[in-house]
Amino acid sequence: LIPGHNQLTLRLNPSATLACWLPQPPDPWTVELAITFAAHHNIVCSSLALHPRPAVNMAESGDLDLGQLSTSQQEALQQYTSVTNQDLKDAIPLLQRSQWNVQIAIAKFFDGEGPDPVAEAMAQDIPRTTARHENLQESLHASAGRPQAPRRDRPDPAPRIVPRPNTVHRPPFLVGLLLAPFTIGYSIASKIFRTVFYLLNFLPTQIRPRAITSGPGTGLRSTNGRRMLMPRDTAARFKREFEEEYGNTELPWFEGGIAQAQDLAKKELKFLLVVLMSPEHDDTESFTRETLLAPDVVSFINDPANNIILWGGNILDSEAYQVAQEYNCTKYPFSAIVCLTPKEGSTRMSIIKRLAGPMPASAYLSEAQAAINKYAPDLAGVRAERTAQEVTRSLRNEQDSAYERSLAKDRERARQRREAEKATAEAARKAEEEAEAAARREEQREKWKRWRATTMEDEPPASNKDVVRIALKMPESSGAGRIVRRFRNDTTMESLYAFVECYDVLAASEEVTEKAPTQPEDYEHEYQFRIASVMPRVVYEPSKEETMAQKIGRSGNLIVEDVSADDESDEGEDYLP
């Protein structure tokens, strides 16, 4: 078997068979088609069987082996599923039916998949009968009275017409320079003619020239100075001329181009009624007044239940003339009804009815009503399908939005949890660092106290007259009570602070150790207390320049006060301005 091809078998008789290969269609299918035709007086019957090569249906396989797809097919599948979010078991067959075209598959998914042209042709043109294999002699008698299947009338397509802009061809510079005198002369002559023509309009009718009396008319018959405009301006001009000719009517003319009207009819699933008028035609005025402006026709067009968009044009305009050419208009006045024909294609706009020439209002209305009633169920089905798809799409969007909101909340909670964990870890790290720093400071403080205790001078004897007698009241937390000690006159105030700081070390061992400890490096000792006198209250700072004799005198009663962080903050607040 040739990969990707079907076997075409032509059975001429029970013993003769002709086989050939044809390309495989998108969907594997098998059909047996009996073809009967006559040549002169001889009728030949043959049977045609098309047996496709069985395709691998990956959607029905349990494991969905994507390895059997080519690289381009896998990319198309990934791109299609990322847009539609459809299951693979449904996506792969749809892509196969769309020849692996992602845009066509996405359009089929959202707009609905139209009927298979091959299956529809077989259902309409080919009768579903049991396949018969017979020879030519039997077919000669059997096929003589066999009726042919009726063929389906397909409406003509309605092309999307975009007016072609006027192109101004400018001659080359040298040619224009040579033709300049003729151009200037023609311009002057035309201006003079228009001026004379305008002045002659003021003459009485009896002596006015006939060419002026039967000149260009107004309304739809006006042809003077008619130039090409944009589609919207052309539609506004047609509506204005129509109202000038027939008065202010209730017809809802679409103010836009034929392409915009057709797009609106396709989008909103409405019927587009196209009316083309020729001002030079004798039946235009009677058709407009007696048929188009008949109360029943006007009510029918304005009825919202009929879903009609009315577009009109004057064939003197370029756009309406193009519409007449594309719609095969041969007789005026001309009307055509255009709508979406889903049975012919999901996006195919067709001309479902042509109304050419003058006709009574009743006939015009019945013909239009019959055409609309014929295709209204198809449009209603497409409208319901679009509504269901829109509901499904909205539901999917709401689900996606809810999922995104839930995901955002989960992400926010995860972020807050990470930040809380990070803050907790940071606080624990800082606490550990502070504890380690406090432990190091305490260790260095103890080392400093032991070292400073070794540098303290011994208490002088009581017989020494150059001494200062100090009575210290220690803090209750120390448990030392009241201490009385003598110091030399030249002892600094910092030494008094050091004595109070190292009192517990001095009290623990009366004799200084022989191996004195060293002073801690990179350590600046801070005293966590202050020494003050009671009456009058004077706070003495731990100065290394001032001596006790200078600050206190020969004796003094002092108290030792603890200094805490709270006291320092309170004092700072007291001194705030």
CB 113 within 8 A of CB 382: no
Distances from the Cα of 204 to the Cαs of 16, 169, 208, in angstroms?
A: 94, 43, 6
Most confident of 139-153, 414-428, 429-443: 414-428
Instruction: Give yes or no for residue 335 having a pLDDT over 90.
Output: yes
The pLDDT assigned to 453 comes to 86
| Secondary structure (H, E, C), 517-533 | CCCCCCCCCCCCEEEEE
Confidence of residue 173 (pLDDT cuts 50, 70, 90): confident
Q: From the CA atom positions of the chain, what is the Rg in Å?
A: 54
The pLDDT assigned to 64 comes to 60
Asked which of 208-217, 336-345, 431-440 is least confident by mean pLDDT, the reply is: 208-217
Alpha-carbon distance of 356 to 331, in angstroms, equals: 6
CB 265 within 8 A of CB 350: no
Give mean pLDDT, residues 470-498.
86
Asked which of 29-43, 261-275, 301-315 is least confident by mean pLDDT, the reply is: 29-43
CB 515 within 8 A of CB 450: no
Confidence of residue 212 (pLDDT cuts 50, 70, 90): low
Most confident of 63-77, 176-190, 348-362: 348-362
Full-model pTM: 0.46
Find the helix or strand (DSSP H, E) in which 539 lies: strand 538-540
Q: Write the DSSP string, 6-46.
A: EEEEEEEETTEEEEEEEEPPSS---EEEEEEEEETTEEEEE
The pLDDT assigned to 137 comes to 47
The pLDDT assigned to 136 comes to 47
Sign of CA pseudo-dihedral 196, 202, 208, 213: positive
Most confident of 37-46, 259-268, 473-482: 259-268
Dihedral pair phi/psi, residue 239, rounded to 5°: -65, -40
> What percent of the chain has pLDDT above 90?
29
Instruction: Give yes or no for residue 190 having a pLDDT over 70.
Output: yes
Confidence of residue 480 (pLDDT cuts 50, 70, 90): confident
Alpha-carbon distance of 487 to 555, in angstroms, equals: 10
174 vs 17 pLDDT, higher one? 174
CB 545 within 8 A of CB 494: no
Q: What is the mean pLDDT of the chain?
A: 77
Give mean pLDDT, residues 368-375.
94
Instruction: Give yes or no for residue 367 having a pLDDT over 50.
Output: yes
Query: How many CA atoms within 13 Å lie on the side-chain side of 58?
Result: 17
Alpha-carbon distance of 390 to 411, in angstroms, equals: 30
Identify the burial level of 8 via C-beta atoms within 10 angstroms of its C-beta, where 0-12 means exposed, 13-18 middle and 19 or more buried. Answer: middle
CB 72 within 8 A of CB 100: yes
The percent helix, strand, coil of the chain (3-state, each to 5) is 45, 20, 35
| Structure token pair of residue 306 | 């009929």
The pLDDT assigned to 209 comes to 64
Alpha-carbon distance of 108 to 275, in angstroms, equals: 33
Find the helix or strand (DSSP H, E) in which 349 lies: strand 349-356
Confidence of residue 205 (pLDDT cuts 50, 70, 90): low
Closest CA to 505 of 442, 450, 447: 450
The pLDDT assigned to 78 comes to 86
What domains appear along the chain, each with residue ranges and CATH number? 5-152 (no CATH), 156-163+172-416 (3.40.30.10), 455-574 (3.10.20.90)
Closest CA to 334 of 295, 260, 283: 283
Confidence of residue 83 (pLDDT cuts 50, 70, 90): confident
Q: To 10 degrees, the CA torsion angle through 211, 214, 215, 217?
A: 180
CB 76 within 8 A of CB 3: no
Q: Write the DSSP string, 447-490.
A: HHHHHHHHTPPPPPPTT-SSEEEEEEE--TTTT--EEEEEEETT
The pLDDT assigned to 576 comes to 40
The pLDDT assigned to 94 comes to 87
Give mean pLDDT, residues 153-162.
85
Give mean pLDDT, residues 370-391.
92
CB 303 within 8 A of CB 252: no
| Structure token pair of residue 221 | 């018959």
The pLDDT assigned to 455 comes to 85
The pLDDT assigned to 406 comes to 93
Place of tokens 């029905």: 60
Give mean pLDDT, residues 163-182.
75
Place of tokens 């800082």: 430
Confidence of residue 226 (pLDDT cuts 50, 70, 90): low
Place of tokens 């040298």: 174
Give mean pLDDT, residues 153-178.
77
Instruction: Give yes or no for residue 132 having a pLDDT over 60.
Output: no
The pLDDT assigned to 229 comes to 84
Cross-strand bridge partners of residue 562: 529
